[in-house]
């Protein structure tokens, strides 16, 4: 079993999900008292979020690169960045370590392609929805990506940072997300990417009439695949 190096804390709410999902998946596959070999380095999200807001992505990449180096020195065989947004600096992080990084968008693209879906709606932070670092990675595989309009993007982002990252789950926010999802479906989306690792705390499969691709679960399962691969 390879050792999974988890860069967490962005937010710790979803990092806790990663830890649980990874261990449950290992136990399901191997049985008995088996659990995952993993290292979790949880950063201070206040610092990272400040760099995001300031557009200081290079500084954020330096912090996460240092974290990745610490995990590598600690014995990790590969890295899992427990957030979608910070894959914006994945190349900066990769340049500082020798072990591979399991990219969340790549794992998600595989699931979408296996579902034979051509067009998806993307929900996430405003950075993930508006910038190209994530969408372009999916589009390179032939997947068409659409996002909500500007007002909805702002509202979706606000709910992530002001509620979900703080562990606050409100029915009115779930209803709002359902409305946004329905709008994406009416625009041709055949599936919806929950492209922020906290959204799965709020939105469940029964909240949409098309498949939901929960990136937290997909990434966690692919981490187990990589860990158990001979």
- Marked catalytic residue, from 38, 82, 165, 196: 196
Q: What is the mean pLDDT of residues 190-213?
A: 96
pTM of the shown model: 0.95
pLDDT tens digits for 75-92?
Answer: 999 999 999 999 999 999
Query: Residue 173: CB partners within 8 Å, gap ≥ 6?
Result: 159, 163, 202
Burial class (CB within 10 angstroms; exposed 0-12, middle 13-18, buried 19+) of 62: middle
Q: Give the DSSP letter string of 74-132.
A: HT-SEEEES-SGGGGGHHHHHTT-SS-B--HHHHHHHHHHHTT--EEEEES-HHHHHSH
Q: What is the pLDDT of residue 230?
A: 72
CA distances (Å), origin 119, targets 71, 110, 115, 184: 36, 14, 11, 10
pLDDT over 70 percentage in the chain: 100
Q: Is 83 a catalytic residue?
A: yes
- Marked catalytic residue, from 67, 83, 108, 216: 83
Q: What is the mean pLDDT of residues 181-203?
A: 97
CA–CA distance, 123 with 19 (Å, rounded to integer):
23
CA–CA distance, 7 with 152 (Å, rounded to integer):
29
CA–CA distance, 93 with 91 (Å, rounded to integer):
5
Strands, sheet with 38-42, edge to edge from the N-terminal-most edge strand: 38-42, 4-8, 78-81
């Amino acid at each position: 079993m390879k050792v999974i190096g988890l860069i967490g804390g962005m937010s710790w709410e979803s990092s806790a999900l990663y830890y649980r999902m990874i261990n449950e998946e290992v136990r399901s596959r191997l049985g008995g008292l088996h659990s995952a070999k993993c290292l979790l380095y949880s950063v201070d999200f206040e610092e990272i979020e400040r760099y995001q807001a300031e557009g200081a992505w290079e500084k954020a990449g330096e912090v996460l690169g240092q974290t990745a180096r610490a995990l590598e020195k600690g014995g990790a065989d590969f890295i899992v960045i427990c957030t979608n947004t910070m894959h914006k600096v994945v190349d900066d992080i990769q340049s500082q370590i020798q072990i591979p990084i399991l990219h969340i968008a790549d794992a998600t693209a595989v699931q979408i392609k296996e579902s034979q879906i051509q067009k998806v709606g993307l929900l996430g932070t405003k950075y993930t929805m508006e910038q190209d670092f994530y969408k372009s990675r999916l589009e390179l595989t032939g997947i068409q990506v659409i996002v909500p309009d500007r007002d909805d993007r702002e509202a979706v982002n606000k709910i992530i940072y002001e509620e979900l990252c703080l562990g606050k789950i409100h029915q009115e926010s779930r209803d709002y997300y359902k409305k946004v999802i329905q709008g994406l479906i009416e625009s041709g989306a055949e599936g919806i990417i929950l492209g922020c690792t906290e959204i799965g705390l709020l939105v469940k499969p029964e909240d949409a009439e098309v498949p939901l691709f929960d990136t937290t679960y997909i990434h966690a399962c692919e981490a187990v695949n990589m860990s158990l691969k001979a």
